[in-house]
Each structure stands twice: as C-alpha cells, then as structure tokens.
Structure 1
C-alpha cells in the first residue's frame, strides 16, 4: 500500500471516530437509525437526567400523600396516577377496577382511555411531519382533501382550534347528515363535511373554539401523508420508538373487548355509541408509565426544531382576557408573573384524564380514571410542589378544570 493510501485510510478512520463520539467521548454509530425506520419518528431521551436524592423523593412523596388525604380522604377510587421528575417516578397509585364485572383491578399495565389527552399525541405526530417537511404548518386542507369546503382552514388552525368548524357530535347525530344508528368513522366524517353543506360556526382564525372535529381531521392528515392507518402511523411514529408497550389506538377495526370499560359514578358501565370509532381527538388507550416515556421524549432536545417548538408553546387566542389559552396541541395557563403551565385534560364517557408537563422543572403529573370523576382535573394543583405555580394544595372546593 502506498504512503498516500495509508494516509487517506488513517484520515478516514480518524474522521469517522470524531463524528461518532458524543460529548462524553463515547463512540456512537453515525449510521444508526431509529427503530421505526422513519425519519420523523419520535426518539427516546438518550441523556440521563440528574438523579434525585432519596430525601427529595421521600419529601415529595409525603407532600403528595398529604394532598390526597387533605382533599379526597378515601374518596379517590379508579385512578391510575403518577408523578415523576427527571424521568424518575416519585409517586404512583393504581386503584379500582379495570373491569368490575370480572373483578379485574387496575394495574400499572392497564391501558385506560386517555380521552382528549390523545390530542397531545396526535399533535406531536403532526409536528414531526411538519418538521420533516412532509406538510407545512400553514398548508390549507384544500390541498390535501378534494372538494374540502373551507378554503381558509389550515393545519395550524386545526392544531390551535381556530378553524371555525362545527363540532362533529353536533351535526352528525342529525339523520339528515348521518344519524345515531350507525357507527361514524373519520372518513365518514370527512364525507359528511364535504357533501352535506355543513356551514362554519365562525370565520376561520377569528375565534378559539375547542373542537374535536379539528383533531379527527388531523388524524386523516397523518394517514394521507404517511400512507398508513392512523393506528399504525402512531405505532410507528410514537409508540414503538418510545417503548410504549401498553398503548394503542381504538378504531372501527378494534375488538370492543380490547378497550378497558368505563363507568359512571355509580359503576354503571358506559355502552359504546356511534361516535366511539372516531380517533385523533380521542381513542388512545395508555398508561401513566407509557405517557411518562412520551413526556420525556417530547421534552428532549431535538424533538422539534427551535422555531417550530417556540410556536407550539405559545397562545394563539387573546380575544377574551384571561389566563387560559391554547398552543399547538397543548393547553396553557399564563399569569401576570410570566409563569406558564402546560397541560391537557380529557373527558369521554366515564373516562377522565389529565396530563401536566412542567417543562422548566422536568416534572410531569399524569392522572387517568375510568370511573367518572372531576377530581382528575385537580391534579394540576400539585404543580405547586415543583415550581412557582399559583395553586393551593388545601382548597377542597377547587374546580379548576
């Protein structure tokens, strides 16, 4: 081998080693692909966060237990609940029945319907597609769906609930449009919108109106762009790469017995109805531990480009004065102090859910219930244990939803 060839070989090897090392000097494989093989898949957090001391964890655990005792006593059943900081679980609680008729208890592995917290996951998949330039934030739906009747509706106005469209449960129960005697799917909903002359409720991008129609259409956009069914796309983009083994989408093809039942306050089971196959706005089943994995990945460096991430976590609706607002797939509270809280609640049949992500403090609070209760929505008060959030831990009559 000539001297020039030896020099070139050594240079190439040195270059590969340099680009294959992380900040700690450990060698990485520069050609490593994410497990799903998709460039827009979410990736798990690789860097370990600072370890919490036993003293810190024990103190926070006592404070959380006192919160339950002071506010709920023993009246807090059918709850799957988790609090974590730096990816480390401080407290978790699994109570009540996953299936009362068959005496099956809730456990850390029991998937519960997360209701509208599904919107955070749907939005995350859409945002990954935007970041990968598969679609654009300001892309009009008329470019995605033939004969779509609203020319000003964009991906962005779906994400921030400013599309002005009507809620599908308000017009699809009308027999003239669809009716309650047959199951509605996302594709059916799109056909109704296109063919039944459903008018806008308000002019697009003039008002905030929380609307499940927006996220049912976002699910169809995911299908259109990826060429996969929403359930498969979510599996490949989020669930599998993050190791969310107890998380799945319920749709019209899912056996009904796979869905964990939900109950009214008196343990009367909610029956399935004609809207139970619509997904994107709801219909993801998950566990607090799986959602912790999702939260870590969503708050990891590299989840989204800086510019897009900044657009996610800001409010878009200031027509009415108040602290509540909505970003791109996330609710927020903004106070005069400059403090912000990011969260999302959910409610479908007997299922209630709350996801509170404390981004500055690297903490998360997750509460899921399959027996109807509004207490799930009070879990954001626990944010006061981790930062300067204006909530009280002892107000038993708080109704902060």
Structure 2
C-alpha cells in the first residue's frame, strides 16, 4: 500500500499537507448519503420505492421515488442553479430545508419525467439527506456521525457544519491561481456534498465495505449493481457510485468530486481489493492523470502481452 501527501493545506501559511489532513469531499460525499439510506432500509424505516412525499409532504413533484433519487433518474433541476435565481440574499446560508421550500414555492421546471433518463442531480442527494432526517428522527449530520463515522473510527470525518469547531488539520480550497476559495451560501446544503475526510479515513471506509459492519452484503451488491440506464460515458450508476470497467475487464465503482477549490476521487476494484484515493485542494488538472494510473494498475490483456514481449526482446538483446 502506498500513501503520500504533497504541497500545502494553505498556500499562504505554507501549512504542509499530511495524510491526516481533511478535505471537502465534494460529490464523493454522495456515497455516504446513499449508505445512510441503505441502513434505514435495513432497519425497515423506508423502502427504495417509497414516494419522496411520504417523508417530505410539501415536496411538490409527484411520482418520484427514493430509488430514483439514488440513481439520478428523478429528472429534477439542479438546486445549485435555481438557487442562484431564487435565493435573494447570498449572505444568508442556504439549508436543505430552504432548498425544499424554494422547490415548494417556485416549482422549478423538471428536466425529464421520472425514470426516463439518467441525469446527474445534486438536488436528489440533498433531498435524500432530508429523507434520512425524517425517517431516522435525528439530524443528517448526527446520523452519519453516530451510525457510520464512529463505528468505523473515522475520527477526522465530519460535515461542513463542524468545520469551524475543528482544531485539526483542514485543507483550504484554492483556485487555479492558488488564491484561497471562501465558503458561500451553498456550502451548508448537505447530502450531495459537504463532508470532510482524510485519505486515511477513506481507506477505513473502503475496507469496511468488504465487511458487513454497516449493511448486509446483499444490500451492498444491489448498490453496486446499477440500473442498466447508461450515461454519456456508457457507464451505469448505482447508489452513490458510478459503475464502469477498466482495461483489465474488471468492474469498478468510483466517484469524483469538484467543489470550491477541492478535487476528489475514490475508486474501488472489488476483484483485487485495490483502491485509488486522491484528495486535492487545487484544481490544477491533476485528476486527468488518473486515466494513466488506471491503465497502469489495470492494464488490458493486450497491453500485458505487449509488455511481456518487450521484456523478452530486451532480455534477448542483453539489456535486462
């Protein structure tokens, strides 16, 4: 196993990054929201095919289910866009309840009818956080802390709301010019983003998913199965995870994230129990190299054969 940290948590303070520095996870947060839903399903507190309105009565769109929110097939518009138009004072932090209220009052037009298209939706996962609260009877952040982070000893994983109280190392997001990004009114919406974690804690999370500490194996298998409704990359989406293939033919589950100067990535190959975890606080295009890394770790059979022939040729010529 390799782990390492490079650069600064804060470019101006020159606060060196470590593998215990917490980063905003951006959309990698979605897999934790999905896990909360799966746990509540096993506790018989909800069902995937329940209507959202069973838990959120003032939700204005009929016929949308929890499963459709999980798999991005709800057709709902993105709250990060319609809030820009409908939220008048951006000095006031937006909450999940505020998002719901905006939808209830203004009813932004849906993109598609439910269950007809895959359309990536931050709104769906923000709503799932509200469903977790209604079904569990506790705040979303509390549920994650008590039901996931504490049992897995993820001591440096927390929500945005706890950021100000954290005394440990936390990376600051920067723009491409290495200028510090500041928080804005959208940061306080949870479910689609808003979690902070470290590479070490995320490795604990990865390893826990090979056990049944949180949910049964059958429940996880369903989460990684997908819907058969592919996106533009010809990839599927399960519950909080993208599903694709690498050159070796192995099926992988993964997710990336980009938010306010943070770039994140977590990939799992369940066949060989390998994982790639990358957290960055500078959007400098570093994730573009992940394609090369994936090809190196999971080469196509033809690549393996070519490498083998190259090594035979080099050995025959005395260069090895």
Q: Please, what TM-score do these two structures have when normalized by structure 1?
A: 0.69
Deviation of 1:200 after TM superposition, in Å, equals 1.4
Q: Which structure has the larger Rg? A: 1
The residue number in structure 2 matching 1:255 is 164
Query: Partner of 1:255: helix, strand, or coil?
Result: helix
Alpha carbons of structure 1 residues 296 and 172: separation in structure 2 relative to 1, 3 Å: same
Matches for 1:74-153 after TM superposition, within 5 Å? 90-153=1-64
Query: Partner of 2:2: helix, strand, or coil?
Result: strand
Q: Of residues 236, 240, 264 in structure 2, which corresponds to 1:325?
A: 236
Does 1:345 pair with 2:256?
Answer: yes
Query: Partner of 2:275: helix, strand, or coil?
Result: strand
Deviation of 1:390 after TM superposition, in Å, equals 8.1
* Distance across 1 between alignment mates of 2:96 and 2:291: 32
The residue number in structure 2 matching 1:217 is 127
Alpha carbons of structure 1 residues 179 and 314: separation in structure 2 relative to 1, 3 Å: farther
* Superposed CA offset, 1:41-70 (max 9, x none): xxxxxxxxxxxxxxxxxxxxxxxxxxxxxx
Aligned length: 302
Matches for 1:50-89 after TM superposition, within 5 Å? none
* Superposed CA offset, 1:69-101 (max 9, x none): xxxxxxxxxxxxxxxxxxxxx111111111223
Deviation of 1:269 after TM superposition, in Å, equals 0.8
Matches for 1:195-344 after TM superposition, within 5 Å? 195-251=105-161, 254-255=163-164, 260-301=171-212, 303-318=214-229, 322-334=233-245, 339-344=250-255
Deviation of 1:164 after TM superposition, in Å, equals 0.6
* Distance across 2 between alignment mates of 1:155 and 1:279: 17
Matches for 1:14-25 after TM superposition, within 5 Å? none
Deviation of 1:286 after TM superposition, in Å, equals 0.6
Q: Of residues 266, 269, 272 in structure 2, which corresponds to 1:355?
A: 266
8 A contact 1:350–1:372 mirrored in 2? yes
* Distance across 2 between alignment mates of 1:283 and 1:274: 12
More off after superposition, 272-281 vs 254-263? 254-263
Cα RMSD after superposing both structures? 2.6
Query: Partner of 1:192: helix, strand, or coil?
Result: helix
8 A contact 2:268–2:274 mirrored in 1? yes
The residue number in structure 1 matching 2:93 is 183
Alpha carbons of structure 1 residues 391 and 98: separation in structure 2 relative to 1, 3 Å: farther
Query: Partner of 1:173: helix, strand, or coil?
Result: helix
* Distance across 1 between alignment mates of 2:302 and 2:140: 37
* Distance across 2 between alignment mates of 1:178 and 1:323: 39
Gaps of 5+ in 2: 305-320
8 A contact 1:363–1:386 mirrored in 2? no
* Distance across 2 between alignment mates of 1:205 and 1:250: 31
8 A contact 1:261–1:269 mirrored in 2? yes
Deviation of 1:360 after TM superposition, in Å, equals 0.9
Alpha carbons of structure 1 residues 106 and 204: separation in structure 2 relative to 1, 3 Å: same
Alpha carbons of structure 1 residues 376 and 144: separation in structure 2 relative to 1, 3 Å: same
